[in-house]
Structures are given as structure tokens and as C-alpha cells.
Amino acid sequence: MDYSKFLSAEARAMKPNAIRALASLITRPGLTSFAGGVPSPETFPNDELADIAFRLIKDNGTVSLQYQPTRGNRNLIQFLVEYLRDKGMSDIAADQILLTGGAQQGLDLAARVLLNPGDVALAVIPSYIGGLAALNNAQARLVGVPEASDGLDLAALEATCQRLQAEGTPAKLLYTIPNFQNPSGVTLADAKRDKLVELAHQYDFLILEDDPYGELSFDEAAPAPASLRSRDRHGRVIYLGSFSKILSPGLRVGWMVAPAELAAQFERCLETAALCPSVLDQAIVAEACHSGLVLNRLPELRKFYGARCAAMLEALDKFATPDMTWTKPTGGLFIWLEAAPHVDAESLLPHMVEKGVAFVPGRPFCLDGSGKHTLRLAFSKETPAAITAGMETLLKGISALTSLAAQL
Amino acid sequence: MDYSKFLSAEARAMKPNAIRALASLITRPGLTSFAGGVPSPETFPNDELADIAFRLIKDNGTVSLQYQPTRGNRNLIQFLVEYLRDKGMSDIAADQILLTGGAQQGLDLAARVLLNPGDVALAVIPSYIGGLAALNNAQARLVGVPEASDGLDLAALEATCQRLQAEGTPAKLLYTIPNFQNPSGVTLADAKRDKLVELAHQYDFLILEDDPYGELSFDEAAPAPASLRSRDRHGRVIYLGSFSKILSPGLRVGWMVAPAELAAQFERCLETAALCPSVLDQAIVAEACHSGLVLNRLPELRKFYGARCAAMLEALDKFATPDMTWTKPTGGLFIWLEAAPHVDAESLLPHMVEKGVAFVPGRPFCLDGSGKHTLRLAFSKETPAAITAGMETLLKGISALTSLAAQL
């Protein structure tokens, strides 16, 4: 039977995940992998979480194994109110917070509630694939804004907004990951942040601020700049947070901060989308937060990923050829490598996998189809020693293949 | 700031949950509650699940605390393949199964992937509110089909299909809960099931078969009739299962069975909607299934809910007035009470809450706005003794209030 006639317009708009299509290549055992954009399981506090889960189920299964209201675990929401206050967001009350089954669910809720087919959504080039997919599934018209080494190009953003207004299709939403962004590792400079919020107000769009990596600044003395949400006096910013990178992604717990009216609308959408995300996961994370486990571990996590990033940057300094450039992240999990313009990262990948190294080609992150010669390199999975060796293989390999190609 | 101009058509179509609006009334402490359609926490195997969760996190946090593929836990999918084979569905392979964060998520995925705004979706009157909401959020045009004491009225269904075809708006989907349905407790008779699947083929629609209660037949010797899916040789049925009523709803684990092509499409939608549902919850449920915990407990669960249903039916026999009728479920969690036609269950509710008894008015379950005089009575929460006492209060209360109203 042919089911295509039963598919909705939304289903027809859904694109296969380009990274998923590479899964059989990049998940081969034995590879040195810079591919998976996931936290290292070495950072998971297994023993502590096992104890917490045991007690929550054994002593309080009546609550932790039962349905709960869609809005989410009250203790965790209360923790977030205090946490956000400490981050300079003292205006956020519980009715502005919604717990989600990971930040990805928040992206989807925001896209569903805010975007009609054809609405213009702005996104940084490059951007996280899952964020672009959420906008795409809402059948928004995606318009790209380039990124400089200090983040989103504000002049280009303003010019784009003017053009869109003149064309009668003003932007409704901007999707951005201001801190240590996936895939580029770039951070939006402190000095540009107030201006970005003002532009949202001036050109009447909302900002979807996705911040899963904000706590992972490698330098304890230099945390990520204050969030866009903390600078927002106009009610323009919807903020997405996550425990995936600072505790565990298998526990699916993220959160949204939004004006109360929108938070209620997201909650209504979530109620039908899932009734409630995992009650046990939220209870575990609430306990991990209140016991101090989450925040106390941050210095250790920052060191852990900082050492891996340093190893990758050192290898780049040592083995990269002069036709390559790359970002120098100060936090997060990713470095973005631009090879020489004639390099095709997608055809490079199988050759590199043969040599034992995996990465993700950059083009799927670029909504305008650019980025053919770019690579996303995650430094989260491998040890510093493996990173050094793997980067030598990768960079020498690129160089050998490109010079071979030049000779042919 | 006024956010209404930012809302999508989908968001504007979302209706507030009518039961939620009653929450402050029906969740007052101290009430004898027939309101909440949730399993009894007395049935949760806290000790066993605490041990399972502890071991999974402590010994295998690398897996259970990490992301996993969207499709879901392979061990649990394999268990379901064998479980479905034992239920007469030996044609179902792993690529036809998708794990979801509860069956509600499956309803939402199905609605998103299959329905365009304006598409006709058929649903039984009455039907589960969360199922109707999923169809409604997809902005489908909902068309009701009445229910008899042996389930969906097939003659009315066929007449409706003919009328819709003649009008050029044929039905695309039928939403139905064939076993011990929420809210009515009615089961679709065995003898009507083959015919329903044939009608789907004849009138070219898909069936969304929602079956969270199918294992809860009170009589061990008389299980629920074989599913619609097990009779489907045309690829017309999408089947939704859940562990919420037979293990724990706080662990958010449900599953969809669909033709492989549609299962892949639902997976793609779920990937963007949530990346993956809770990894820990799925691992716990997989272990609970493979260890025998889930299936071994079913006889005990059936007795547990059977005793409560019997207590409620006995109280109805004893205290109901001749102008009342009610369903006689052979499984599940619900009885549907029709009071005299002039009774307004919604205005009755606050009076009954004053007397210490809560229920849910039936009208929100009826997509055509009928059911004003109906009540959904869940027998899952209270002990048999509390059910007897609460039903006496409720039924005498209805009777007193209606005769008082008649005098005024």
C-alpha cells in the first residue's frame, strides 16, 4: 500500500537528518570519533544518581511513578527560579518556567506555537540541525544570518530585517545559540548582546535563545556573558535550558523560560504532545540540583572539556596546513574547521573513516547549503591523547588527499 | 506586550483542557475521587523498580544516562515483537515498532504526520480527551460516530463514510479505543472487529487503535478480543500501546506499531519533537519486561481493578434511581453514567464536591457537545469500601438535587 497520500504537509516537509544518514559510517567501532555531539559518559555521576533514583522510587513511588502536571516538578522549577536569580534574572517567577523532555522538545513547542507555514524564521549560519529541523517542520521560511568570530553579524541581521520588512514578510523569530554554539563553538560577544535584544524589539521579532552549553566555559574566572534573556526588558526572549550537558542527556530534562502567557501556551501544547515528560527523570534532576550535585560538579566538568579542547587546538596549531582556519572556543564541546575551499567534507568522510577518524561534515548545519568545505569537530568523546593522535591523522589526511587531488 | 499576533494557527486552535479547568475542584484533599483517570499507585512495584533503576544507573550509566537512537531501546522493542507474536500479531518486525514517551506522544505524532488542517478525522462519541486534542491540534475536522453497548456503531460509521465521500471530504482516519475505553468503559465486540477493518479498507481510511487498557480484562478466562491490528491484512491499522496502566505512568513509555514506511515517518517526527524519550525509563521498562515483572503482575492487577469495578457496579445497582443508566465494563478503569436527561453534570460537580465526592462531567469527551447529563466515574483510585460509600453519597445526591430542582 502506498501511504504517501496519507501524509500531511508537515510530514512531507520533514527532511531526513543528514547526520543520521552517516550513522553507519561514523559509529563504526574502533574509530577515533570527533563526530558525536554528545557529552562524555565519563562525566556522568553514576553512583550518586543511582542512589537518588533508588530512594525516589523505593520511598516515594506514589509520586515519582505516577503522572504529574504537565508544567513539571515543582521542586525543580523552584530550584530554577533561584538559579536564574543568581544569573541576573531575578524577574522570573515559576509561572514563566515550563519543564520539557529535553531542550529539543522546547524547540519543537516554540516552533509549533509560534510559526505558521511561510512565516520567516531567522537562524545563524551555521546552526544546530535539530533547531533548524524544528523550524522546518513548522514549514517556516528559513532565512540565514552569517556569523563572525564574535557571533551573529548584527549589521547583516539588521540589513536582513530591513529587506524582509520591505518585502512585506518581516521576521517573526530568530533562532540562536549565543554560547559556545553547536556546531561552531562561537560565542556571541557581550558587547553585542544588548543590541541584539534591541533589534528584536525594533524589528518586532522574538528570540529563541538556546543555551545548552552556557555553563561549560573553560575558564572559571570568565563565565559566558549574561544571557539575552537577562537583558530583555521587552519580553522578546524565550530561553531554553538543559541538563543534558551538565548532568545526563539520558535523563530527558530541559526547561523553557517565556513570558507567562506564552509559557501557558507552550504548556497546553506539551500537554497534548506528551501529557508530561518523564516524572522520574525530573524527580532525579530536582534532587541532584537541590543536593548540590549539579552545581558542585561544574568546575570539574569545565576542566574536563577544557583539557580536551586544548588538546584539539594544540593539534590544529601543529598539524593544520595554512589553507585551514578554525574557531577557538572558550567553552562547550565543538570546534569548527574550515578546510581549503575546494575540499568536499562529505566525500572526505569515508576516506577518513578508513584511516580511523570520524567527524561530521559542516554543510547540514548551514541552511543556505554553504559549508561544503567545513567540518564539525567534537572534542567531548576522546581523551586528550586520542585527540592529538586522531587530529594528526585527520589533518595530514586532508592535506594528503587534497594535494593528491591537485596532482590528478 | 500582546503575544497573540505571534501565535500560529495551531496554537489558536488549541483548546484549554476542560478537565484541567476543574482541577482546583476535583483535586481538593479529602475527597472520595472518581475523577482522576489514573492507575492506583498501590499497584506500582516500587521495590522491584527501585532495584532495577539502581543497577541500570550504577552498572550501566554509560548507556542508560546517555542519548540513544530515536527509535528506542532495542531490548524493549525485541520484547514487544515477541509479546505481539503471542497476541496473534506474528507479522510485526522491529522496524514496525517505535517507542514513545507514552501513548499520548504517539497520538500526537500520528496526528501531525497524517492530518492536514481540514482533513476529516472520525472519532467515537465519547472519546478520550487527549486523543481528541491531538486531532484538534492538527486542525482536523472532527466527525463523531456514536457508540452502542457493544462499541462503535458500524452502521452509523458506514453511513457517515458514505455521506463524507459524497460530500467530497472522505474520512482519512478513525480514532478508537476498542478495549474498556476511556471514558465509557465499553469494549468493541469481537464480532464487529473484522468488519471495522474491512470498512477502513473499503472507505480508504486509516485506523488509530489506542489500547492502553487491553490487558486489564477482569476475567482471566476472557481476555479482551483480539486487536484490530491483528485482523488487519490491508495495512490500515496504527496501534498504540502503553505501560502506564500495567506498570507505571511516571515512567513515560508507550509504543506505536505501524507499517514500516509510516513508522519511519513517525520516528523522523519524534526525532525533532524530542530527540529521544527518556532513556532511563525505557531501560527500566525493558528490564521489567524481560524479568517477567510486567506480565507476571497482570493477574493481580486484573483482580485489583475488578474488585473496585464490582464495588461500583454493586453500588449503582443499590443506589441508582430508575432514570439512570450505566455501562458494565469487563475491564479497564471507567464506568460511564447517564443521569436523567435534565441533569447538568457540570453544575452538579461543585455540589457533589461539597458533599465530598468528585467525578468528571462527560461532555468534554463528546466532540459534538452532547453528554451534558453524563458522568465519567473512575474506580481506580478508591478502595472498594470507599467506592461503596462515595457512590451512595453521589447517587443519593444526584437524586436529591434533581428532585429539589423539579420542585423549584
Closest by Cα among A219, A300, A234, A272 to A48: A300
B-chain CB neighbours of A68 within 8 Å are 250
In tens, the pLDDT along B53-84 reads 999 999 999 999 999 999 999 999 999 999 99
- pLDDT for the residue numbered B55: 98
Mean pLDDT of chain B: 96
* pLDDT mean over B269-296: 98
The mean pLDDT value for B136-153 works out to 97
Q: Between chains, do A65 and B251 touch, taking CB under 8 Å as contact?
A: yes
* Residues of B with Cβ-Cβ distance to A120 under 8 angstroms: none
Residue of B nearest to A15 (CA): B268
* pLDDT surpasses 80 at B403: no
pLDDT digits (tens, 9 = 90+) for A140-159: 999 999 999 999 999 999 99
Give chain B positions within 8 Å (CB) of A47.
58
Q: Chain A closest CA to B331's CA: distance in Å?
A: 21
Q: Using CB atoms and an 8 Å cut-off, which of residues 98-157 of chain A contact chain B? A: 101-102, 104-105, 107-108, 112-116, 119, 130, 133-134, 137-138
**In this model, does residue A93 exceed pLDDT 90?**
yes
Higher pLDDT, B199 or A407: B199
Asked whether residue B408 carries a pLDDT value surpassing 70, the answer given is no
Of B46, B65, B269, the CB nearest to A250: B65
Q: Closest CB to B17: pick one of A38, A101, A271.
A: A271
Instruction: Compute the distance between CA of residue B357 and CA of residue A231 in angstroms, rounded to an integer.
Output: 49
Nearest-5° angle of CA B146, CA B106, CA A240? 130
B268 in reach of chain A (CB within 8 A):
yes
Q: Is A251 on the interface with B (CB under 8 A)?
A: yes
* φ/ψ (deg, to 5) at B157: -60, -45
* Interface residue of B1, B10, B65 to substitute, partner A, most A CBs within 10 Å: B65
- Compare CB distances from A250 to B47, B51, B279 and report the shortest one's residue: B279
Amino acid at A408: L
Considering only CB atoms, which chain B residues are within 8 Å of A9?
116
**Which of A272, A280, A284 has the highest number of chain B CBs within 10 A, making it the mutation to test binding with B?**
A272
Helix (H, G, I), strand (E, B) or coil at A97: strand
Is any Cβ of chain B less than 8 angstroms from the Cβ of A385?
A: no
Q: Give the CB-side neighbour count of residue B172, counting CA atoms within 13 A.
A: 24
User: Do residues A250 and B278 touch, judged by C-beta distance below 8 A?
Assistant: yes
Separation between Cα atoms, residue B184 and residue B128, nearest integer Å: 9
Do the Cβ atoms of B274 and A108 come within 8 Å?
yes
B337 φ, ψ (degrees, to nearest 5):
-110, 125
Task: Say yes or no: B271 contacts chain A, CB-CB below 8 A.
Answer: yes
Note the pLDDT of residue B17: 85
Smallest CA-to-CA distance from B306 within B335, B280, B343, B283 is with B335
Pairing of strands A32-33, A357-358: parallel
The sign of the CA dihedral A311, A312, A317, A319 is positive
Contact A8, B116 (CB under 8 A): yes
Comparing alpha-carbon positions, the chain B residue that sits nearest to A38 is: B67
C-alpha cell at B10: 495551531
Cβ neighbours of B130 in A, within 8 Å: 271-272, 275
Q: Identify the weakest region by mean pLDDT among A10-19, B167-176, B195-204, B214-223.
A: A10-19
Choose among B65, B113, B278: nearest Cβ to A41.
B65
Selected residues 291-310 of chain B with any CB under 8 Å from a CB in chain A: none
pLDDT value for A408: 67
For the record, the C-alpha cell of B351 comes out as: 455540589
> Touching check for B265 and chain A: CB below 8 Å?
yes
Average pLDDT, chain A: 96
Q: How confident is the model at residue B16 (pLDDT cuts 50, 70, 90)?
A: confident
B252 touches chain A (CB under 8 A): yes
Pairing of strands B254-257, B237-242: antiparallel
Q: Which residues of A touch B259 (CB under 8 A)?
A: 1, 3
Would you call B275 and A104 a contact, using CB atoms and an 8 Å cutoff? yes
- What is the CB neighbour count within 10 angstroms for residue B208? 28
In chain A, the percentage of residues whose pLDDT exceeds 70 is 100
Q: Give contacts of B 181-240 with A, CB under 8 A.
A: 206, 234-235
Chains A and B form CB pairs within 8 A to the count of 256
pLDDT of the residue at A49: 98
Residues 329-368 of A with CB under 8 A from B: none
Q: Smallest Cβ distance to A6: which of B105, B172, B251? A: B172
Residue B110: name the closest of B278, B285, B275, B273 by CA: B273
The yes-or-no verdict on residue A404 having pLDDT over 80 is: no
Check whether A405 has a pLDDT greater than 80.
no
Kindly determine whether residue B41 and residue A66, on different chains, have CB atoms separated by under 8 Å: yes
Residue B132 has pLDDT above 70, yes or no: yes
pLDDT of residue A21: 79
Q: Which of A39-48, A361-370, B13-22 has the lowest mean pLDDT?
A: B13-22
Element (H, E) at A78: helix A74-86
Given an 8 Å threshold on Cβ–Cβ distance, is B8 in contact with A104? no
Q: Could you tell me what percent of chain B has a pLDDT over 90?
A: 93
Among residues A248, A252, A68, which one has the least CA distance to residue B100? Answer: A252
B336-374 pLDDT, tens digit each: 999 999 999 999 999 999 999 999 999 999 999 999 999
How many angstroms from the chain centroid is the CA of residue B408? Answer: 40
| Position A29 confidence tier, pLDDT thresholds 50, 70, 90 | confident
Which residue in A has a C-alpha nearest to residue B72's C-alpha? A250
Q: Label each residue of B340-402 as H, E or C.
A: CCCCCHHHHHHHHHHCCEECEECHHHCCCCCCCCEEEEECCCCCHHHHHHHHHHHHHHHHHHH
In this predicted structure, the answer to whether residue B291 has a pLDDT above a threshold of 80 is: yes
**0.90 exceeded by pTM:** yes
Backbone dihedral angles phi then psi of residue A73, each to the nearest 5 degrees: -55, 120
Measured between beta carbons, the chain A residues lying within 8 angstroms of B20 are 271
Percent of the residues in chain B that have a pLDDT greater than 70, as a whole number: 100
B253: closest chain A residue by CA = A278
pLDDT in tens, A112-142: 999 999 999 999 999 999 999 999 999 999 9
> Any CB–CB contact under 8 A between A160 and chain B?
no
Tell me, yes or no, if A279 comes closer than 8 A to chain B by beta carbon.
yes
Identity of the residue in B114, B248, B280 whose CB atom sits nearest the CB atom of A281: B280
Among candidate residues A269, A307, A210, A407, the one with its CA nearest the CA of residue B16? A269
Rounded Cα gap, residues B348 and A360, in angstroms: 62
Residues of A (22-81) whose Cβ lies below 8 Å from B: 38-39, 41, 44, 46-47, 49-51, 53-55, 57-58, 61-68
According to DSSP, the residues that pair with A338 across neighbouring strands are A325, A374
pLDDT at A229 over 90: yes
The answer to whether A15 and A342 have CB atoms below 8 angstroms apart is no
Contact state of A252 with B276 under an 8 Å Cβ cutoff: yes
Read off the pLDDT of each residue in A31-60 and give the average, rounded to a whole number: 96
Its ipTM equals: 0.97
In this structure, are residues A198 and A167 in contact, taking their beta carbons and an 8 Å threshold?
no
CB-CB under 8 Å, B54 with A51: yes
Share of chain A above pLDDT 90, in %: 93
User: Contact B172/B115 with Cβ under 8 angstroms?
Assistant: yes
